[in-house]
Amino acid sequence: MIPHSAPVFTCLVNGQQVSASDSIALETLRPGLQELILLDFPQAGPDDRVSQDALVDYRRKYVEAILEEERGEVSELEKVVIEAVSHEDTLSQTPGEREADHPPTFGERVADHVASFGGSWRFLITFGILMGSWILINGMRKDALDPFPFILLNLMLSCLAAVQAPVIMMSQNRKEARDRLAAEHDYQVNLKAELEIRHLHEKIDHLLGKQWERLAAIQQMQIELLENRLGEKSAARSGSAAPPDPCGNGTNPG
C-alpha cells in the first residue's frame, strides 16, 4: 500500500501506480536493461520509472542474452542462476540444506553406516579379535567345529567380502553424487557472483558517466555565469566613466 504523502509514479511497463521506493528511474538502470526496455517502449524518456516487479522479466532476459552469447545454450543449472539473479535471491546453501533437498533412501543410509564401520579401526580390531579367537579355539580342540585348514572360516570371509564390496561401492556412489551436487552448487554460486560483479561494474560505469555529464553541465553553467558577471562589470565600468571637460580646466566659465 502506498502512503498518501509519498509521491506516486506510473510504471512504464505495466502502468501500475508505484511509489519511489518500489520503482527505479530509467536513466539510472544499467545500459543493457535500458536497451531492452527501449526496444519495447521506444517512446520512453529518462525520467520514466519502472517498478521492481516489472524489472524481474527484463533482468531474466538480460542475463539469458549474456549467457547465450558466451556459452551458446543455457543449461538447467544456469536457468536456476538466471532466476536467482532476476529475483535477487541467494543461492548459497549449507551442506545440511543440500542434504535436506536430496534426502537419502533407507538403503543408502545403511550403505553409509556399513562403509563407515568397515573403514574404521574399530572394525579392524574387532575383526582381528574374532578371527584370532576362532583360530585359537578351533586349532586347540580335537572336536572343533572348524578344524585346520579352517574351511568354514574361509567361507565366512568370502561371504563377508562378497557382501561388503557392493555395499562399499554403493556408499562410494552416494559420495560421488554428493560431490557432484556440491560441485554444481559451487558452479551456480560462482556464476551468480560473476554476473553480479559484471552488473555492478556496468552500473558503476553508467553512474560515473552520468555524473561526469552532470559535472560538465554544471561547469559550463558556472563558466557562463562568470562570463555574464564579467560582461556586466565591464559595462558598468564603461558607463560610470565621466566624459572629458571641453574647456580643459574642469571649471565653469566666469
Boundary of a domain, candidates 87, 104, 139: 87
Residues 114, 42 within the same domain: no
Count of CA atoms in the C-beta half-sphere (13 A) of 106: 0
Residues 56, 21 within the same domain: yes
> Do the domain assignments include residue 18?
yes
Residues 107, 153 within the same domain: yes
CB contact at 8 A, 58 and 33: yes
Residues 156, 205 within the same domain: yes
> Do the domain assignments include residue 33?
yes
Residues 117, 30 within the same domain: no
CB contact at 8 A, 150 and 135: yes
Residue (of 38, 57, 147, 206) closest to 65 by Cα position: 57
Residues 132, 219 within the same domain: yes
Q: Directed axis angle between helix 151-240 and helix 31-40, to 10°?
A: 80
Q: Phi, psi (5° rounding) for residue 154?
A: -60, -40
> Do the domain assignments include residue 240?
no
CB contact at 8 A, 206 and 34: no
> Do the domain assignments include residue 73?
yes
| d(C-alpha 91, C-alpha 94), whole Å | 10
How much is the pLDDT for 43? 86
Mean pLDDT confidence for 167-194: 88
Residues 227, 106 within the same domain: yes
Secondary structure (3-state) at 18: strand
> Do the domain assignments include residue 244?
no
* pLDDT (tens digit per residue) in 216-252: 888 888 888 888 888 887 877 777 655 555 555 554 4
C-alpha cell at 65: 542474452
Boundary of a domain, candidates 23, 57, 87: 87
Residue 24: Cβ within 10 Å count: 17
* pLDDT (tens digit per residue) in 31-60: 788 888 888 888 888 788 888 888 888 888
Total domain count, the chain: 2
Residues 207, 120 within the same domain: yes
CB contact at 8 A, 114 and 168: yes
Mean pLDDT confidence for 109-130: 89
How much is the pLDDT for 29? 80
Alpha carbon of 139 to those of 77, 119, 133, 159, 222: distances in Å? 62, 29, 10, 22, 109
Q: Which structural domain, as residue segments, surrounds residue 82?
A: 8-87
Residues 126, 196 within the same domain: yes
DSSP 249: S
DSSP 11: B
> Do the domain assignments include residue 45?
yes
Residues 204, 101 within the same domain: yes
> Do the domain assignments include residue 13?
yes
> Do the domain assignments include residue 249?
no
Boundary of a domain, candidates 41, 68, 87: 87
* pLDDT (tens digit per residue) in 141-170: 888 888 888 999 999 999 988 988 888 888
Residues 163, 127 within the same domain: yes
Residues 13, 103 within the same domain: no
